[in-house]
Structure 1
Amino acid sequence: VLSYTFGTPGEVGTLNYDGEDTRFEYNLCTLNATSLEFSPTGHRMYIGATSGGPGDVVFQWPLTPPESASSSIVNPPEITEMPAIVETPGGGGVPLKSPDCVSMSHNDAATPELVIVDGTNGWIYDTTNGLRQITDEDFFSADVVDFQDQYFVFNRAGTGQFFLSNLNAGSVYTATDIATAEGDPDRLVALISNRRELWLFGAETIEIWYNSGDSDFPFSRYEGGFLERGCAAAFSIAEDDNSIFWLAEDRIFYRADSSTLQRISQHGIEEALRKYKVISDACAFIYTMGGHKFYVCTFPAEDATWVYDITTGLWHERQSRGMGRWRVSVYADAFGKHLVGDFEDGRIGELDLDTYQEYGVTIQGVATGPVAHYDRKRVAHRRFELDVESGVGLTTGQGSDPQIWLDWSDTGGRT
C-alpha cells in the first residue's frame, strides 16, 4: 500500500473510519493501491485506484552485504530486531526479556557499538567483541535507548529519570550521569533524540532538553521546554521529515515539530482507538517508498495496523490477508532494500512494488464508497459501471488472473 486519497474536486478529503453512522462514512481498508480517489460529480460517483502496493518476498539470511556495509552497524541487519531474540551475522542469538519490541541505537566510534535494551537487561554488540551483556554496576534497567552527542541515553525503567553512558562507550557508566525530568512527577515512558534535541516522554507530559555542556551533567531543559501531553506507548514514537510522531495518552496521534504539536489522527480513527482495551503495546516505524513517507503503527493485542501517509496527510488501515493486522512488525532501509521483519515466524522479507503477494498469498485491496444519493434523495440504479484499465494483464504467473468483487448495501452499509 502506498497511499489512499479521498476527496472532492478541488479539496483534500480524509478517511472516516468506523463512524457512528455508516450512512455518512466511506473508507478504504487495505491493501493494494498507490492512490485512490473518490470524486462525486453531480449524482455520479467515481472511485479510482492506480498501481499496485508492495508485496513481500523472502530475503535470505545470512546476508552477503556489500563491502561498504559489511562492518557497519548503522544499517541493519548486521543486527536484526526480532520478537524475542537478537541474532548476529555469525549465527546464534541471545534471548531477551521482552516478547515484543526492543530498543536499539548505535554510536559512531572507530569500531561502532550497537546497544540494545529490553526493559530489564542491556546488551552491546561490535564486530570485534561480538554480542555481550552490559554489566557495569551503574547501568540501570531501561526500556528505550538513543544516541546524541557521543552519549547513549536511556530512560530508567519505572521512574522519571534518565541516564547516560560515558562518551562513545556503551559499556561504561558513571553513577552521577543521571537526571530527572521533574517538571511533572509522571513516569518517563520513552525518549528520542531529534535534531539534537532530547525529547523525554512521560506518561502525561513531555520535556525537551539539550546539550548545554555543563560539567556536572551535560544536558539541561530548554526554558519553556515542557508540554502537557504524554505518551501511551513507548514504541509508538518514530521520527522522520524533521518531526516526531507518536500515540499520546489521550488516544490521539500527534506530530511534533520543535515544540509545536499537531493532531494528525481524525475522529473515525480515534473512535476505533477508544474501543481498544490495550494500546500500550503499539509499535511504529516510518518508511519511504514511491515518493511517500508512511508512519506505520501496529496494535498487537488488538490485531490492527494503522498507517499515516505523511506526504498527503491521509490515513488507511492495513491488513495482511486472513489477519486483522499487517504482518510486518519491523523495518530497515538497508543495502538498498526495504527489509521487513515478519511477526508470524521471524523471517526477513523485502517490500517490492512489483510483487503482488505477501509470502505467496495474493494481496487483496478493499475500497468502500459513500452512500449514493442525488441532492440527498434516494436513487434507483439501472446499472453500475466500473472503469478499470484492461488489456495489460499477464498470461501466466504472478498477476495473470486479477479479480474484482463487488458487494453493495441497500441499508446505508448496516447490512
Structure 2
Amino acid sequence: MPTFNLIGPSYIEQSINIDAQKTVNMYIIYDKSSPKQISFAPFPGLKKEIELNSTKNGVRSLYAYLNNLYSVCGDSVYSLDSLLNKTKIGKLDTDQSLISVSNNTTQLFLVDGNAGYVYTFSTGEFVKVTDQYFPSDPLMIAYLDGFFAVCVRNSNIWYLSAQGDATTWPQGSNALLESRPDTFMGIATINQRVILFGHISCEIWYNAGNADFPFSRNNNLIFEYGCAASGSIAKGFGQLFWMAADQNGVSSVMMTDGGTPNKISTEAIEVKLRNAVKVDDAIGFSFKEAGHVFYLLTLPTENITFLYDLTASSDLQMQCWYNVEMLDGNYYIAKSHAYFFGKHLVGSSISPTIYELSNKHYTNDGEAIKRERISTHLVAADDNYISISKLQISTQSGVCNPNPMGDEPNIFLSISNDLGHTYGRENKIKMGKIGQYKYKAMIYNIGTNYSYTFKIKHYDPTPLFITGASIEYMVNKSDN
C-alpha cells in the first residue's frame, strides 16, 4: 500500500485549512539506517518522588550540586540527599516569585526578586545578604570565573560580588546595559561569556581582566532583541534558550552558544506568541532524555506548553516543536528541573511535589497520558474525490498494558473531511494482544470525500511507537 506521511511536528497555521498538524506527548526519532527512518516515540511520564511540605505552593526551583539537591517550595529552602531525604536549611521573604540559583565551590547563592541569600556548604549557615552595596530587587544571577553577577529589575545596572564570596559586594563593582535604552530581563553565562538580556536588546560580555571591573562588552555582538520572559531563560548542553522580544513585542524563540543567536521558532509558534494575552510568566528548562536535547517552554496564562527538540531538528534540518499536555488538556505541570543521581527530577507548578521524569513511566503518576497526532491534510488535485478502502497505522504491536496485565491496548481514530474544523466519531482500533508482534492496526471502508485529516489518540500505559501509515485509495474525478 502507498505510504501516508503521518509522522511530523506540531504546525498549526493561521488558517487550519493550510495546516492543522499537532503532535501531543510524542516526539520524532530519526534512524537513517531504518527502512522507516522517522517514527514517533512517547514523551516520558511522571512518577512521584517526594512532597516537600503540606502547603499548596508549587516547587519554585530545583538545583543539583555534587551530592545534594536544593529546592525552594513556598518560602522554604530544602537540601535533599541522594535518597531524597530532606532538610530545611532556610527561609525566604517571598513564597511565589521567580528563583535564580548558582554556586561556587563553597556557597549556594540564590535571589528571589526581593533579596539575596547565601548557604555555606561547610557550616550549613543560611543568611540573607546584608552588604550595603548589594542591590535591592535582584532579578537574576549568574557565575563566571569566581564572580557572582546579579542584574536588577527595572534597572540597567548589573553588579559583581567579591571573587569567591557571594556575601561581599565591593563598592563601584558594577556596569551598565547601555547599548540601547533598556532595562534588565535576565543574565546568564555560557561558554565563558556573560549574556545580558534587556527587553529589546542583548549584550555579550567577557572577562578581559580589567583592574576596576573585570568584564568588557563585545561590541561586535549586540543584538536588536531581548527577552520577553525572565523565566524562559534556560541553559543546557552548551546552549542558552529563551523567548525573545523586540520593539514590536514578542518575536521568536532563540538559542545561542555565546555567539550570534539562532532563531529556532517556527512561524506557527511565533504567531501563537504574538497573539498571546500574557507571556512574561513563561517558564522554560532544558533536559536530555533518550539521546534527545529538549527545551520545554510553558506559558501558564495561555495554558499551553511547547516542546522544542534540538536533536530531531538537527537530524531532519527542520524545526521540530511539539505540544505537551496533561490529560485534561491543560499545560504541563513541570516547572523546574534538575538531573540528580541518574534521574530527571521535575518540580510541580501546582503542588509541593517532585517527580521523576522518565521514559520508563507510561503515566503521569497514575494519570493516563493522552498521546495525539493530527496529520497533514490528504487532498487530491483538482478537487477530485478520494475513496479510501483501507488505512493501516504501523505501531509497536504485541505490547500489553502493564496494569491490568493482558489488556489489549487501543488507538482511537477520528477523521475530518473539512480540513480539520470538525471530526467524526472515534473508531477504536486494536493494537494486538501481548505477543502478537505482527498484528496490524487497520480500519476498512473509510469512504469517499474531497479531503481527509486523521486524528489519532492513545491513552493506554504502554510504550507507543508509531512508524507511519499506509492507505489503499482511488482518486475519482470530480463532476465539476
TM-score normalized by the length of structure 2: 0.74
Residue 332 of structure 1 pairs with residue 338 of structure 2:
yes
Once the two structures are superposed, residues 139-189 of structure 1 have per-residue CA deviations (whole angstroms, 9 ceiling, x without a partner) of 112110010010110002210010011111011111211111211120021
Q: Does 2:360 correspond to 1:341?
A: no
Pairs within 5 Å for 1:15-414: 15-17=10-12, 19-32=13-26, 35=29, 49-60=39-50, 74-75=65-66, 78-82=69-73, 85-88=76-79, 89-91=86-88, 93-97=90-94, 99-108=96-105, 112-127=106-121, 128-140=123-135, 141-249=137-245, 250-313=250-313, 314-375=320-381, 377-394=384-401, 396-397=403-404, 400-414=407-421
Distance 1:73 1:391, change over 3 A: closer
> 1:55, 1:413 → 2: CA distance?
28
CA distance in 2, matches of 1:305, 1:412: 24
Q: CA 1:399/1:50 → structure 2, altered by over 3 Å: closer, same or farther?
A: farther
In percent, how many aligned pairs have the same letter? 26
Alpha carbons of structure 1 residues 148 and 267: separation in structure 2 relative to 1, 3 Å: same
Question: SS of 1:312's equivalent?
Answer: helix
Alignment partner of 2:138: what SS? Answer: coil
Distance 2:329 2:74 in 1: 18
C-alpha distance in structure 1 between counterparts of 2:419 and 2:293, whole Å: 34
Q: Distance in 1 between matches of 2:65 and 2:119?
A: 12
Aligned-pair distance for 1:125? Answer: 1.2
Give the Cα–Cα distance (whole angstroms) in 2 for the partners of residues 341 and 14 of structure 1: 26
Instruction: Give the drift of 1:234.
Output: 1.2
Change (3 A) 1:210 1:115: same
- Distance in 1 separating the partners of 2:399 and 2:366: 22
Q: Distance in 1 between matches of 2:351 and 2:67?
A: 19
Higher Cα Rg: structure 1 or 2?
2
More strand by share: 2
String of CA shifts for 1:74-110, please: whole Å, max 9, x gaps: 25853114465432342365244362431000112xx
After alignment, is 268-277 or 278-287 more displaced? Answer: 268-277
1:375: Cα distance to partner? 3.1
Paired with 1:73 and 1:114, the residues of 2 have a C-alpha distance of: 10
Distance 1:240 1:94 in 2: 28
Change (3 A) 1:277 1:137: same
| Residue identity matched to 1:56 | L
Query: Closer, same or farther in 2 for the Cα pair 1:281/1:84, shift >3 Å?
Result: farther
Consecutive unaligned residues of structure 2, counting only runs of 5 or more, are 53-62, 80-85, 314-319, 423-480
CA-to-aligned-CA distance 1:344-391 (integer Å, 9 cap, x gap):
212111012121111110111010012212335331333433333322
Write the distance in 2 (CA, Å) between the matches of 1:380 and 1:48: 27
AA in 2 matched with 1:91: K
Could you tell me which amino acid in structure 2 is paired with residue 292 of structure 1?
A: H
Q: Which amino acid aligns with 1:125?
A: Y
**Residue 227 of structure 1: CA displacement?**
1.3
TM-score of the aligned structures, taking structure 1 as reference length: 0.85
Query: Any unmatched runs of 5+ in structure 1?
Result: 1-6, 38-45, 63-71
SS at match of 1:204: coil
Q: Secondary structure at the match of 2:388?
A: coil
Equivalents in 2 of 1:57, 1:395: separation in Å?
A: 15
* 4+ residue segments displaced more than 4 Å: 46-51, 398-401
Instruction: Specify whether residues 57 and 159 from structure 1 end up closer, same or farther in structure 2 by C-alpha distance, changes over 3 A only.
Output: same
Whole-angstrom CA distance in 2 between matches of 1:408 and 1:347:
39
